């Protein structure tokens, strides 16, 4: 059951990564220069309240160091990279265990 959920989350993250990559690609073609939209910009565009809530949570319950150099650095990565990494991680968590060759001969 959990593997099926991880596969679904992986598929959604992959779809978001592809959409974000296509958006960056079309912006790059239109501007005739490389455009990579940071995750921070997309998150602030879609849900600024949750971004601020995340900042407050990390500063209050975790160390303030967790927000400023660590999380802010991750937020500067392109959106498609962040979601592609999530898709890979959830896909790896959902993969099937390879059968050992001894299991083929068990009765």
What ranges do the domains of the chain cover?
Answer: 1-37+80-95, 38-77
Residue 39 pLDDT grade (very low, low, confident, very high; cuts 50, 70, 90)? very high
Q: Is the pLDDT of residue 104 over 90?
A: no
Query: Mean pLDDT throughout 20-31?
Result: 96
The pLDDT assigned to 107 comes to 60
Side-chain-side CA neighbours of residue 83 (13 Å): 21
DSSP 8-state code for residue 37:
-
Q: What is the pLDDT of residues 45-97, one digit of tens each?
A: 999 999 999 989 988 888 878 888 888 999 999 999 999 999 999 999 998 87
State the pLDDT at residue 58. 87
- The 3-state DSSP class for residue 57 equals helix
Instruction: Tell me if 5 sits within 8 A of 86, measured CB to CB.
Output: no
24 within 8 A of 35, measured Cβ to Cβ: yes
Dist. CA 18–CA 21, nearest whole Å: 5
What distance separates the 2 farthest-apart alpha carbons in the chain? 64
Quote the pLDDT of residue 38: 96
**Does residue 106 carry a pLDDT above 80?**
no
């Amino acid at each position: 059951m959990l593997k099926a959920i991880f596969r679904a989350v992986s598929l959604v993250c992959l779809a978001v990564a592809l959409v974000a990559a296509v958006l960056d690609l079309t912006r790059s073609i239109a501007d005739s220069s490389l455009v990579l939209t940071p995750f921070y910009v997309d998150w602030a565009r879609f849900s600024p309240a949750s971004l601020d809530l995340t900042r407050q949570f990390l500063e209050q319950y975790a160390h303030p160091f967790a927000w400023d150099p660590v999380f802010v650095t991750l937020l500067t990565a392109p959106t498609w990279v962040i979601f592609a990494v999530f898709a890979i991680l959830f896909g790896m968590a959902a993969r099937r265990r390879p059968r050992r060759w001894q299991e083929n001969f068990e009765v």
